[in-house]
Chains A and B, each alone.
Chain A
Amino acid sequence: MFDPNRSNDVKRLNRPFTKRRLGRLMLVVGVATFVGVLSIDLVDVGREGGIGPVQAIVLAGCVLVAVVGATLIPLGDRPA
C-alpha cells in the first residue's frame, strides 16, 4: 500500500543538506575525531613519544572542521 506519510519521510531523508545540518555534522565529527585521536595515546599506553607528526596534522584538521562546522550553523536553512 502506498503510504504518503512514509513517502514524505523518504523525501525528507533525501533532502539536500542545509548549512545548519552540515555545520552540526562537521562539529560532531571534528570533536569526536579529535577525542578519538587523542585517546590513541590513552588506550595504547605502550606507545612512546607522545603526539606524533601525523597525529598533530589530524588534530589540527579536526579543530578546523569543528570551527568551520560551528560557524556554518548560524547560516540556517541555506543549501549546503
Chain B
Amino acid sequence: MTTTVQRVLLGLALLVFAGYLLVYVNYAGALFAFPFDYDQGEGFELYDTLLFSRGEWPYRNNETYPFYASNYPPLFHVLIAPLVRLFGPQYWTGRLLGFIGTLINAALIGLAVYRAVPPPAAKGAGTREITAVLSGLAFLASNTIYHIGPLFRQHMFMVMLETLAVVLLANFERPDRPARRRELALVIAVLLAAGYTKQLAVMTAAAVFGFLFLRGPLRAVGWGLVFAALGLLIFGWIDLSTGGQWSLNAVAANVNLYIPGQARDLYIQWFKLHGPLIVMAGLLLLYEAYFDRISVYGVWFVAGVAGGLLSGKWGAGDSYFATAIAATCVMSGVFAARTLTGGWRFEANYLTRWAQKIFYRRGAEPSDKKRYPFASAVRILVPIMYLAYALAVRHISTEGPFWGAVSDLLGMPANTRYAFHDSAGWVMGYATIGHSPTAADIEAGHRIAAYYDKTDKPILSEEAGFALMAGAQVVTNPTQLKNLWENGLYDPTSLVEMIDAQEFGYVIFRAQFYPQPILDAVARAYITVEVIEMNGFEYIILAPKEDGGT
C-alpha cells in the first residue's frame, strides 16, 4: 500500500516538473526570438562577444571614446564568438548557450544523485532513477534558474562548470582510493574555466579545496598552489595584454556598495521558495556529519549557501543563489533516493544510543520491522516534499491561447506587471523578469533603434542592443562607469565635455545608471523628445537642446 501511494505521488511530481520544463522551454523560445536587451546588461555581453570575435579585448580605457570596458571574465564570450562571427551580433547565440548550460546542469545533478546512491534491492527498483530525474527537473523549476537560464548571461554557464567540477571530483575521490593526479588536474581545469567565466565561482573553488583538505590537508595545499599559480598566470597574461585594464575593470570595478537588507531578504526568499529541498539537503548534511563521511556535495552546499551573502552587493540579486540551488538539488536528491531505496546506515554512536531510548519501541528486536516506526511515513513524505516545492515555485506565462488557458485552469492569474504569474513576489535584488516579450516590444525596440538613422553623430545609449541592431558604435558601459566613479577610479571629464558640446546625436536612458556628473551634463545639454515603452521599461530619448544647453 505504502509503495503504491509512494509511486503515485512520485509520478505526480514527475508530471508537475515536466510541466515546469515546458514552461521553461516556452520562455527560452520567446527570448531567442527577441532581438533586444531583455535583461539590462545583456547587450554589453553581446558586445564583448563581438569584440572577441574580432580578436579584440573588451578591457579598455573607460576615459577615452567610446568610454567602454567590460567587467566580466572572457570564457563565456570567447565560446560564443564563433557563432557571432558566423551569424553577426545576435542575442540568441548567448541565450542558446546559457539555456543549453542549464539543461546540462540539470543532467549533471541527476547523474550526481544517481551515482551517489547504491543500486537498491529489487523492491525499490526504479526509484533511484526517478529521484535522479526529479532532482534535475527540480533545478530547472526554480524561479531563479528559470528566469536567468536563457539570458545572454555568463552566470548559469559558470554554475554548470561549477557543478561539473564537483561531480567529477565526487566520482574521482572514492572511498577505496583517492583521486589520481590527472583526475584532479581535470577538476582544477574545470574550476579555472568556471572562474574565468565569472568570478563568483570562488565559492565552489573554496568548497573543492575545503573537501580536499578534509581528505588530505597537504594534498589540498599542493593542488591549491597549482590552482592559484595557473589562475594568476592567466590573470597576468590578460592584464599585460590589456595594459592593466583587466585588473581595473574585472576586479576594482566589482567592488560595490553592500546592502545588508538585500542579502537578508534574498535569503528569506530563497528559503521560502526552496524550503522543502533545503530541509532534505540539511538533513543529509547532518547525517554525513554524524554517521557517514562528509561528501564534496555537502561541503559545496555549505559554501553555496554562504556565498548567498554576496547577494547584498549593489547590482547582485537572486542569481547569486544559483550555486546554492544546484547544490541543494543534489543533496536533497541524494536524501530522497536514500530514503526511497532504504539506503540509510546508522553507525552506532552516542546519538544512536539516545535515539534508541527515544524512538525504539520497548521490547522490539533489532530485526523487527517495528523498530523504525516512521520509515513508511518518511518514504511517502519524500514525494510530498517535492510536490510542496513545486507548489512553492509556481510560475507560468499567462499570455496566449495555450498558456492563458493553462494558467486560468490552474488558477494562476498574472500577478506581476507582465502577463506572468510568479509566486516569488518581489524583494530588492530579485529580477522582475520571466515573462515572454511581445510583438509590441519588438516593434518598440525597432523604433528606438531607428534613431540611429536620424543622425550622423554617435548616440549615447544606456543599452548596447540598439547600436548593435543599427550597426553603430556602442558608446559607454554605464554601470561600469558608475562603479568605477564611485570607487574613485574614473574621471568623467572627457565624456562630460562631449555631452556639453552636444557631440551625441541622441541620448537613450533606461535606468539612468550613470555617474552623477554625466546625468547632470545630459540634463544641461539635452531634452526629452520621446518616451518609448519596451518590455515594461520606459526608454527616454533625449535630443540636443536647441539653445545648445546654455
Contacts and interface: CB of A to CB of B under 8 A. Distances in A.
A16 interface: yes
A77 B368 CA distance: 31
Contact of B347 (A10, A17, A72, A78): A78
Contact of B263 (A13, A15, A53): A53
Contacts of A53: 260-261, 263-264
Nearest to A14: B218
Contact of A14 (B219, B267, B290, B293): B219
B374 interface: no
Interface in B263-316: 263-264, 267, 289-290, 293-294, 306, 309, 312
B285 to A, nearest CB: 9
Interface residues of B, number: 23
A78 B346 CA distance: 13
B290 A72 contact: yes
Contacts of B349: 74-75, 78
Contact of B217 (A14, A57, A78, A79): A14
B406 interface: no
B531 interface: no
Contacts of A15: 216-217
B457 interface: no
Contacts of B218: 10, 13-14
B350 interface: yes
B294 to A, nearest CB: 6
Contact of B214 (A16, A54, A75): A16
Interface range for A: 20 to 34
Secondary structure at the B interface, as helix, strand, loop or mixed, is helix
Nearest to A61: B306
Secondary structure at the A interface, as helix, strand, loop or mixed, is helix
Interface string A3-37: 00000001001111100001000000000000000
Given A68-B289, A79-B293, A80-B293, A54 B216 contact: no
Contacts of B309: 54, 57-58
A74 B347 contact: no
B361 interface: no
Interface string A53-80: 1111110010000001001101100111
A54 B77 CA distance: 34
A46 interface: no
B264 A54 contact: yes
Nearest to A72: B289
Nearest to A49: B260
Contacts of A80: 214, 293-294
A75 B347 CA distance: 10
Most B C-beta atoms less than 10 A away, residue of A22, A53, A72, A79: A53
Contacts of B216: 14-16
Contacts of A57: 263-264, 267, 309
Nearest to B213: A17
Contacts of A55: 260
A22 B214 contact: yes
B447 interface: no
The 3 closest A-B pairs by CB, nearest first: A53-B264, A14-B218, A54-B260
7 contacts: A14-B219, A22-B294, A53-B260, A54-B260, A54-B263, A75-B290, A75-B349
Interface of B: 213-219, 258, 260-261, 263-264, 267, 289-290, 293-294, 306, 309, 312, 347, 349-350
